[in-house]
Structure 1
Amino acid sequence: MTVFAMAPDGVRIALHELGDPGGAPVLLIHGFSSNAQRNWIDTGWGDALAQAGLRGIAMDLRGHGESDRPSTGYDVPRFVDDVDAVLEQLALPEAPGAIGYSMGARLLWRHAGTRPHAFRALVLGGLPAGDPFERFDVDLAHRALEERAEPGRMESFIVELASVFPEHDPATLVTLAGEVSATLFDPAQAPPTVPTLLMTGEKDDRADDTAELLPLLRDGRFEAIPGRNHINAPTSRAFRRTASAFLAEHLAGGR
């Protein structure tokens, strides 16, 4: 059953349960153009979390999955507020762990860096050291989506991703990418201070510089995901098992 948290601007954020219902809680945040079902539920994360004694709560980012899709309202502070709203809705007795992938990883880095007591440990997958939305022309992307212009490399990538899953509205996701790109990701601004595991596919050409983030972390480590690229890394058994074991270790005693 899907439940909803209410963001400060009235947008409903959908939440999905997976893993062990009585386990230590872990918030899961998917990447751009994906959703909780595609990123976590369909790819076997529920079994991996359950085996590690973890309860997963996967949120659909605004504009994705079963969450609301406003015509505007996708600036970075709103996404950070959404995580606050989800944590308030959950009303957990202890701070949870969290797993984020790609855009979800950037969101968790930003959130945890400014709210150091919100999470006890993080796993951040497919996280580039820079901002993949840099130099993104949202107007050109919209025209390309309508087949009225030839997109550049970044616009082509975003339009292609926005059109992958039929349950999403590509125009909404292009707007989202444009608003997010107004606040470029600066990992040095407020790095997380909690134990953090960085994981990226060894064939990921979108985040092949993840390990460069390690010096910014107080307690961080990096592991490559064997044989995976940016798109298929969430389906990796090694990713699921390593992430679940890391969080189980750091959340032990919190149940």
Structure 2
Amino acid sequence: MTVFAMAPDGVRIALHELGDPEGLPVLMIHGFSSNTRRNWIDSRWSASLADAGLRGIGMDLRGHGDSDRPSTGYAVERFVDDVDAVLTQLALDEPPAAIGYSMGARLLWRHAGTRPHAFRALVLGGLPAGDPFQRFDVELAHRALRGEAEPGPMESFIVELAGVFPEHDPTTLVTLAGEVSQTLFDAQQAPPAVPTLLMTGERDRRAADTETLLPLLPHGSFAPIPGRNHVNAPTSGTFRRTASAFLAQHLVSPA
């Protein structure tokens, strides 16, 4: 059953359960143009979470999945507020752990860095050291989406991703990318202080520099995802098992 958290601006954020319903809680945030079902459920994370005694709570980002899709309202601070709204909705006795992939990983880095008591441990997958939305021309991307212009490399990448899954609205996702790109990711601003595991596919050209973030993390570690690229890394059994074990360890015996 899908439940919803209400963001401060009235946008509904959809939440989905997976793993062990009686397990220790883990918030899960997918990447751009994906959703909980595509990123986590269809990739068989439920069994790995359950085996580790974890309860996954998958959050559909605004503009994605079963969450609301406003025509505007996709600034970075809105996404950070959405995480706050989800945590308020969950009303957990203790802070959960969290796992994010790509855009979801950037969101958790920002959130945990400014709210140091929100989570007990993080796994951040497919996280580039810089911002992949840099140099993104949203107006050109919209024209390309309508077949009125030839996109540049970044616009082509975003437009292609925006149309991957039929349940999403490409126009909304291009608008989202444009608003997010107005606040570029700066990893040096308030990095997370909690135990954080970075994981990136060995063939991931979009996040090949993940390990360079380690000096910013007081309790950071890195593990590669063998044989995977940016798109298929979430389907990796190594990713699922390693991430689940790491989070379970820190939820049972937090550092």
User: Which TM-score bucket, shorter chain as reference?
Assistant: over 0.9
1:11 aligns with 2:11: yes
SS of the aligned residue for 2:62 comes to coil
SS of the aligned residue for 1:242 comes to helix
Match of 1:206 in 2: 206
Cα displacement string for residues 125-177 of structure 1 (whole angstroms, at most 9, x for unaligned residues): 00000000000000000000001000000000000000000000000000000
Match of 2:88 in 1: 88
Cα separation, 2, equivalents of 1:42 and 1:130: 28
Cα separation, 2, equivalents of 1:211 and 1:9: 36
Cα separation, 2, equivalents of 1:196 and 1:64: 26
SS of the aligned residue for 1:70 comes to coil
Match of 1:237 in 2: 237
Cα displacement string for residues 160-197 of structure 1 (whole angstroms, at most 9, x for unaligned residues): 00000000000000000000000000000110000000
Match of 2:177 in 1: 177
Code of the aligned partner of 1:161:
L
1:103 aligns with 2:103: yes
Code of the aligned partner of 1:27:
L
Match of 1:25 in 2: 25
1:51 aligns with 2:61: no
Q: CA deviation at 1:253?
A: 5.5
Cα displacement string for residues 10-60 of structure 1 (whole angstroms, at most 9, x for unaligned residues): 000000000001110000000000000000001100000000000000000
Match of 1:122 in 2: 122
Cα separation, 2, equivalents of 1:225 and 1:253: 25
SS of the aligned residue for 1:193 comes to coil
Match of 1:187 in 2: 187
Code of the aligned partner of 2:143:
R
Cα separation, 2, equivalents of 1:170 and 1:21: 33
Cα displacement string for residues 32-91 of structure 1 (whole angstroms, at most 9, x for unaligned residues): 000000000011000000000000000000000000000000000000000000000000
Code of the aligned partner of 2:3:
V
Code of the aligned partner of 1:188:
Q
Code of the aligned partner of 1:97:
A
Code of the aligned partner of 2:186:
D
1:221 aligns with 2:221: yes
Residue segments in structure 2 that go unaligned for 5+ positions in a row: none
Runs ≥4 in structure 1, deviation > 3 angstroms? none
Cα separation, 1, equivalents of 2:172 and 2:190: 29
SS of the aligned residue for 2:14 comes to strand
Match of 1:35 in 2: 35
Residue segments in structure 1 that go unaligned for 5+ positions in a row: none
How many residues are aligned here?
Answer: 254
Identical counterparts, % of pairs = 81
Match of 1:159 in 2: 159
Q: CA deviation at 1:5?
A: 0.1
**Residues 122-161 of structure 1: pairs in structure 2 closer than 5 A:** 122-161=122-161
Give me the TM-score of the superposition, normalised by structure 1. Answer: 0.99
Cα separation, 1, equivalents of 2:20 and 2:252: 14
Give me the TM-score of the superposition, normalised by structure 2. Answer: 0.99
